[in-house]
Each structure stands twice: as C-alpha cells, then as structure tokens.
Amino acid sequence: MSEFILINCPPWGVAMPPLGIAYLTTYLKAKNIEVKISDLNLQLYQKADKQQIDFWGLDTINRILPVKIAQDLFYSFEDHITEFIKGLKDYRLIGFSANNLISATFAGMLGQRIRELWPGKILILGGPGCYHSWDRKVVPKEAVDFFIIGEGEEALEKLIQVVKVNQDILKRAQQIPGLLLHRNNQGQRFYPAISIKDLSKLPYPTFEEFDLKLYNYAESYRPLPILISRGCINRCSYCIDWYMSGSFRLRKPEHIVAEMKHHVEHYQITHVEFNDLLCNGNLAHLEQLCDQLIEAKLKITWISYAAIRKDMDGVLLAKMKKAGCSSLCYGIESGADAVLKRMNKRYVCQDAAELIKRTYKAGIEVRMNIIVGFPGETTADFNQTLDFIRTNKKYISQVTNVSSFVLMPGADLSIYPHRFGIVYLDPNDLGKWTDENGLTQEERNNRVIETCQVLKELGIRNLIINYQKQICKHVHNLKKEKILSQEPLKKTILTKQLIVEDIEKKDRNQRKQRVGKSLILFSLFIFSLIIDFYLIFLKKIRGSIIFPGN
C-alpha cells in the first residue's frame, strides 16, 4: 500500500479528470514512486443535491466571497468529508491540489481536520490556487506543512525522497526549489522552481489511476485533457496565467501524437481538449503537429484556446481542420481598439474579425470570450464590442464566457492601478473600484446583461456568465435553504484586507527599489562630476591630464 495520496479539492471541473494530479502521478510512477489519488471534487459532486450542485456552477467561482463559499461547501458535505478523512489513516503524506482560491480554502479546512486527528501527518498543498501569497493566507498554519509553488513534478518527487529517508525532514525540505514551508516557517529562504525545460521528457499522463467512466460531458462526448505546451507568449495586462505557468515551452509533436494514440487505444476516446493557454503560440510547431496527426490517421477531434494572430492563414487553418480541430476559442475580449490596447493585446479588432472569418471558412467552429467593463471602457467602446458581435455573428458559434471585468491580484492592472485609472472605492474590498470615467460595478453588470441579451437576439450560444450579482443570488438561494453556515463574514473581509495589504506591500517594495536605483544613479552622476572637475583642475594646474608637465 502506498504511503502517499493526492487529493483533488473541490470545486473544479468534473467533465474531465484533473490534469495536474494526472501529470504528478504518472511522473512519480516513472520514478518508481507509487501514489494513490482521490478525486474528492468528483465524489462530492456526485453526492450533491439540486442546491449543492450550485457550488460547481462556473459563475460561482468568484474571488468576492471565496472563504464563505468554501465554508458552505465544506459544512454542507460534512458527513461525507468526515468519512473520507477516516480513510486517510494509513497515509504518511497527503497532498491537496487546489485550482482556485475556494479549493485552497477548502484544502485548508480539510488539513485542519486531518491535523486534529493525526498531528504527525505531512500535509502539502499545490496547484494554481496557492500560487500567490494572498491566496495562501486563507490556509491556516497548522493545516499545511508545505506549499509547492508552480510545477509540481520535480519538487514533489524530491519531497517524497526526503520523507522516505525520514531524517531532518524540515531542514532538507526547505532546500527543495518550489517548496515553501508553512507550519514551521521561521523565515525560510524560498528557492523558486525553475520551469521544466524539456516537456517531452515528462511522461504524459496515462490516467490509469482514474475511473474515467465517472467523468463525462455526455455519453457521446468523453474527452480527455492534454497539454501541448506550458506558458504563454503574450502578456495581457489583466492576466496572471502567463507568469504562473512559467516560460513558454512546447512538447515535441511526436510526443503529443503518442499521447493521443495511447488514449485512443486504451480508452477509445474520440475527443481531446487542449488545456493549453493557447495552441498557436508557435505556428511552425502547430503545423508540424497537424502534419503528424494527419499522418497518424487518428479518428479524433480536438478543441483549444487560441490567440488572435494576423499571421495565422487559411492554409494552416485548413490543415488544422484536417488534423481534427473542431473548435477554437479565441480570447477576443473587446471590439474596441482602445480597450485592446489597454489590455496589451497585440492585435486590433480588424485582425480578430479577419481571423474568425478564416477559421469559419476552414470549417472550424469559432468560440470567443468577452470581457466587459474593463477599466477605461467607455459606453462607445462597449457598443463597439456589441457591434463586433453583430457584424460577425455569421462566424461566431458561441461566446463561451461573458465576464464583467474582475481585478486579479497579481495582474499588471492590480500592481499599477494608477496606470489604468483605477480608483479603489473601499480599501477593504478589491471588488469595489471605479475608473477615470466613474464606471461602477452596476454598470459593468448591466453591460454583461446587455451583451447576453444581444447574444440571445442573435441566437449565439453563451456558456458562462461571470458577474457579481450571480454570487449574491447564489448565497441568497443557500440562505433560503438554510444550508448556509453561521460563520461570520469576518474571515472573508480579512482575506480581502490581506489581499489589499499584499498589493500595497508589493507597491511599497517596488517604490523602495525605484528610489534605491535612482539614488545609486544620482550618486554615480555626482561621482562622475567630481572626477570631471578634478581632471579639469589637474589640467589647469599641470597643463595636461595624462602627462603632467607637457
């Protein structure tokens, strides 16, 4: 029996197995380390009643009330969780995987319960949900011994080796790049993990530990997730993914094709979803991949996110279609060039319009995402977005995500709010901000509603709507059903305060660094002036600088 277990914490998608844990288990297996997995997310989802299902609703995963939602989720499944914890008795090391702030909070609560029962267990937390310092603050000290920040394969392997040796665990663990002490952190020096250079050397996930029958969109659509790359080539001002995912790296096409072949042969799948941030970061690579997929004659279709690129021509798109690409979701985000510029997008609306037309003509379904209420977005800009949809409706099959803009801590917009005209209305609430035009959350919500109405009128599908009122409605529903825990909201507010403090601290540090640099430059300038004057003086009294006396 294995001594190690990895647990996928809710809420997360349930239509496909979690790729993070899948990568970790296959990697460890290749290193002869046996690890168990448990998808608690899926287990709770399967037990959920009509009201509880709401916790997995895409639009409930919002930063505004993460602690509250995690508490409600935890307490409403308490009996099942208690039983689940009993089953963890024999594991020495328990790893939680958290994809967002709610699941990180949930993992913290789970860790606390486990600690009460078995104080000696080694508890760790990894995944995007604990990447940032402000996210980690929702996890109590006693709940987790270590965080693993960023890619987990190498750090987890090293930690398990240390645990196996069972000597000086704390001392040795803190040397591991990517590992951060939490419970016993007394000023540890953290060494960030270096992104894995050659992704083709990582064994691809084989999903042997998962019961794949349990994950499904529908009987006819049973995809598996894969990655053809990690990282992103772009640097959008509102985004945190590009730096969380490390530098942009690609897997060799033959390695990707081998993975797809494996899935077809072992699981008879006919669909794959690329979980990449974008599939068209490197067009030459994408073309090679398509060539090899066509040659492999896999009866498989795939979908992916993609960025708007002027240089993505019809020939490549036709090849992608032939290679099985059935749908591309473009993060177009706005129909106004002024807004795209603020977003640091590398295209103008015309480029987006032309690319979706080419995509449609190649027979690939076009999906897109939209953000409304971006700082600085005027009513005229917003109307341009609606016009963009109207003008291009023929080509758009789905607007996957309509979001009211959310300030993500860590994004350029949050670090440099003044550059984007952002004014915080309440220092305790990051959700409350306005811009130079006085844009309110109500207006942002109204723009979401208006967009959805236009989509409805045009007959364009819309999958996810993110706006803040949804959250209130969700909490209100829970209150009505009396499953809302009685915990005060204090902790939520505290989290937001910590987020604000963190950003302010970061800002202060950056200011200090800037002042330091300016001081050094100024001193160098003064020093060079002194030398100049000295040389002039020397020349005056001796006639020459180099050969005195000449």
Residues of the shown chain interacting with ligand B12 in the complex, contacts defined by CB under 6 A: 6, 11-13, 16, 18-20, 23-24, 56, 58, 61, 95-97, 99-101, 124, 126-129, 148, 151-153, 156, 225, 227, 240-241, 244-245, 275, 277, 401, 464, 466
**Which pair of structure tokens corresponds to residue 519?**
């001081």
Under rule CB under 6 A, residue 355 binds ligand SF4: no
Binding residue for ligand SF4 (CB under 6 A) from 75, 191, 217, 242? 242
Tokens of 99: 């994809």
* Number of other residues whose CB lies within 10 A of the CB of residue 416: 13
How far CA 490 is from CA of 67, 236, 388, 479, in Å, comes to 10, 33, 43, 17
Cβ neighbour number for residue 518 with a 10 Å cutoff: 10
Q: Is 331 one of the binding residues for ligand SF4 (CB under 6 A)?
A: yes
Token reading at 355: 């690319």
Q: What is the DSSP string of 302-335?
A: EEEEE---TT--HHHHHHHHHTTEEEEEEEEE-S
On the 0-12 / 13-18 / 19+ scale of CB atoms within 10 A, 162 is buried
Among 307, 336, 413, 448, binds ligand SF4 (CB under 6 A): 307
Q: Which does 153 bind (CB under 5 to 8 A by kind): ligand SF4, ligand B12, none?
A: ligand B12
Among ligand B12, ligand SF4, none, partner that 126 touches (CB below 5 to 8 angstroms by kind) = ligand B12
Are 6 and 95 in contact by the 8 Å Cβ rule? The answer is yes
Q: How distant, in Å, are the alpha carbons of 85, 405, 437, 497 from that of 423?
A: 45, 14, 10, 16
Helices 101-117, 66-76: axis angle to 10 degrees equals 50
Residue pair 404/393 in contact (Cβ under 8 Å)? The answer is no
Give which of ligand B12, ligand SF4, none residue 375 binds (C-beta under 5 to 8 Å, depending on kind): none
94 binds, among ligand SF4, ligand B12, none (CB under 5 to 8 A by kind): none
Task: Compute the least distance from the CB of residue 524 to ligand B12, in Å.
Answer: 41
Query: Nearer to ligand SF4 by C-beta: 66 or 410?
Result: 410
List the single partner that 23 binds among ligand SF4, ligand B12, none, CB under 5 to 8 Å by kind: ligand B12
532 CB-near residues (< 8 Å, 6+ apart): none
Nearer to ligand B12, 244 or 423 (CB): 244
Which of 11, 417 has the CB closer to ligand B12?
Answer: 11
CB of 411 to ligand B12, least distance (A): 9
User: Out of ligand B12, ligand SF4, none, which partner does residue 374 contact, by CB within 5 to 8 A per kind?
Assistant: none
E strand or H helix at 83, and its extent?
Answer: helix 78-86
| 278 near ligand SF4, rule: CB under 6 A | yes
- Enter the tokens of residue 485: 């825990």
Min dist. Cβ of residue 236 to ligand SF4 (A)? 3
CA distance 317 to 358: 8
Indicate the length of the chain as a whole number: 550
Least distance from C-beta 15 to ligand B12, angstroms?
6
Among ligand SF4, ligand B12, none, partner that 242 touches (CB below 5 to 8 angstroms by kind): ligand SF4
CB under 8 Å to 173, separation ≥6 — which residues? 146, 159, 162, 179, 181
Q: Least separation, in Å, of the C-beta of 166 and ligand B12? A: 19
Q: How far is the CB of 248 from ligand SF4 (least distance, A)?
A: 9
Q: Which is nearer to ligand B12, 61 or 364 (CB)?
A: 61
Residues 6+ away with beta carbon under 8 Å from 422:
375, 407, 413, 433, 434, 435
Position 542 contacts ligand SF4 (CB under 6 A) = no
**310 forms part of the interface with ligand SF4 (CB under 6 A):** no
Phi first, then psi: give them for residue 168, nearest 5 degrees. 45, 45
Q: Which of ligand SF4, ligand B12, none binds 278 (CB below 5-8 Å, type-dependent)?
A: ligand SF4
Contact assessment for residue 106 and residue 98, using Cβ atoms and an 8 Å cutoff: yes
- Out of ligand B12, ligand SF4, none, which partner does residue 75 contact, by CB within 5 to 8 A per kind? none
Question: Which residue has its beta carbon closest to ligand B12?
Answer: 126
Shortest spacing between CB 221 and ligand B12, in angstroms: 13
Residue 11 interacts, among ligand B12, ligand SF4, none and using kind-specific CB cut-offs from 5 to 8 Å, with ligand B12
| Token pair 């647990």 in the structure block, residue | 7
Stretch 202-241: interaction string toward ligand SF4, x if CB under 6 A: ------------------------------x-xxx--x-x
Binding site for ligand SF4 (CB under 6 A): 232, 234-236, 239, 241-242, 277-278, 307, 331
